[in-house]
Amino acid sequence: MLPVDYCVNVLEGLYLQATWDQARCVRLFDYEQDLRLDFSQELFEIEGRYCGFMCFMYYCLRTEHVYNAFYERFGCGFVFVENDQDFRCNGFDGHECNDCRFEDPLFLLIDHNKFDSYEYQTKKMASLRLEKELFKFYQDDAMTQKTIRDRNIVIDKVTAMIRNVWSDLDFSVEPFGSTRTRLASDSSDLDLAIIIPEYSNAGRETLKNLKNIRTSIYNMHCLAAELRSIGMVNVEAIPGASVPICKFSDPETGLQCDVNASSSLGVENSQLINDYRKLDTRVGPFLYALKYFVKKRNINDNRRGTLSSYAYCLLGIYYLMNYKHDSPILPNLQNFRSNCDECHGYGCKSGITDYYVGKQQVCYHDCVEVISDSKYQMRKDPGGYGGTKTQWDGYCLDSLGVIILEFFKWASKIDNLTRHMSIYHSPEDIPSAPNKWFRKSMVIQDPFILDKNVA
């Protein structure tokens, strides 16, 4: 992350040019071209760290500590205005529309610090109070000790049952969904996948034959009988589902559970979301609040024409990746573009090119660490990733309160929700979606099954 003094030193050139201009402004495009003609080392460094010079300028405009440092050094502030006839004729009208992205912005000096205004300070305090409540809600409600303990009890029971009945089987019982993403509450269902490496990439015909074997773990009626034998209740085999499952309840913990033996991909999907959650302390509370909001309004069931919890998580991550166009909170882990450090490949999933599950390539950069030098930077997990970390600079220091309020503003505009949304592609590389996807009103691409619209 570029130091504050470095940012202000770059802005100093703009300040000097603006003081020489009668209107106290500089066209940013012209200034960028001057730097390019001078083979400015600063410009090359900025373009290596940010999406470009203009992204850097909007970062400086919107980042309070950079802006305050500029004001302290030069005794004035700055805004961006549209380079149009109205400004040239009438001058600056005092309206600071700094959340916009102008086509041809002017850097304009102003006499006051916009972050000192009463309106801004009032909004800031309100957003910080909201942030505090959201963090507390997440800490108190998501993945409590009871949530973790109860889930481990059920996983241990199912594991022991399988080991007893299918003693020669190489397997593991893995949670997926909200349990794996760490976005579960005490009342959340527990989704389990029985992972059998031998058949993780088995074809449809092979799985069909396995399901027809009466004593096979892939036979849901057989699995249901064994679950009843260890005391599980309300057991229901659903072999005809797209992914055959057994539903059951554990009387000891009261958990409602689903278990399948045919889809390991759900574990990979959930792990990807969890790896995004672990990049920044704001991500978990943001996604948890979003899931809670849609659940309370009964708009989280794709069987009733709304989105699934999984789709909402992808929507939330997509938004955080594209936050304010030039201040992303999250990098893209599948098509990673460094703004600071290059992936060395040691121990990283991205280097395993033949890593397939369910015939889908599931490799991505699980080596990334977001560096922001702020309270939002995640603490290092001593028991976590063991390879070489790849650093990515996190420039956005907006409070969680601001982020979630901006999300609901963004989501209220129909044009934002009817575009092709993907966390697999970088924003500038998202291709046109297949026409068949637009039979539904929204398009949210699955990050691994690329021809699937999860909306």
Predicted local distance difference test score (pLDDT) of residue 1: 64
Q: Are 303 and 433 in contact (CB under 8 A)?
A: no
Q: Is residue 93 predicted with pLDDT exceeding 80?
A: no
* SS3 per residue for the chain: CCCHHHHHHHHHHHHHHHHHCCCCEEEHHHHHHHHHHCCCHHHHHHHHHCCCHHHHHHHHHHCHHHHHHHHHHHCCEEEEEECCHHHHHHCCCCCCCCCCCCCCEEEEEECCCHHHCHHHHHHHHHHHHHHHHHHHHHHHHCCCHHHHHHHHHHHHHHHHHHHHHCCCCCCEEEEECHHHHCCCCCCCCEEEEEECHHHCCCCHHHHHHHHCCCCCCCCHHHHHHHHHHCCCEEEEEECCCCCCEEEEECCCCCCEEEEECCCCHHHHHHHHHHHHHCCECCHHHHHHHHHHHHHHCCCCCHHHCCCCHHHHHHHHHHHHHCCCCCCCCCCCCCCCCCCCCCCCCCCCHHHCCCCEECCEECCCCCCEEEECCCCCECCCCCCCCCCCCEEEECCCCCCHHHHHHHHHHHHCCHHHHCCEECCCCCHHHCCCCCHHHHHCCCEEECCCCCCCECC
Mean pLDDT of 11-32: 94
Predicted local distance difference test score (pLDDT) of residue 360: 86
pLDDT per residue over 406-446, tens digit each?
999 999 999 999 888 999 988 767 777 677 766 777 899 99
Residues in the chain: 455
Domains along the sequence of the chain with CATH = 4-115 (no CATH), 145-266 (3.30.460.10), 282-444 (1.10.1410.10)
The encoded tokens of residue 133 equal 């409540």
The encoded tokens of residue 113 equal 């610090």
Predicted local distance difference test score (pLDDT) of residue 103: 80
What span, in angstroms and rounded, lies between the C-alpha atoms of 113 and 118?
A: 11
Predicted local distance difference test score (pLDDT) of residue 157: 98
pLDDT per residue over 395-412, tens digit each?
888 999 999 999 999 999
Mean pLDDT of 297-326: 92
Higher pLDDT among residues 384 and 257, named by residue: 257
Predicted local distance difference test score (pLDDT) of residue 119: 86
- pLDDT-derived band at 50 (thresholds 50, 70, 90) equals confident
pLDDT per residue over 123-157, tens digit each?
999 999 999 999 999 999 999 999 999 999 999 99
Predicted local distance difference test score (pLDDT) of residue 382: 55
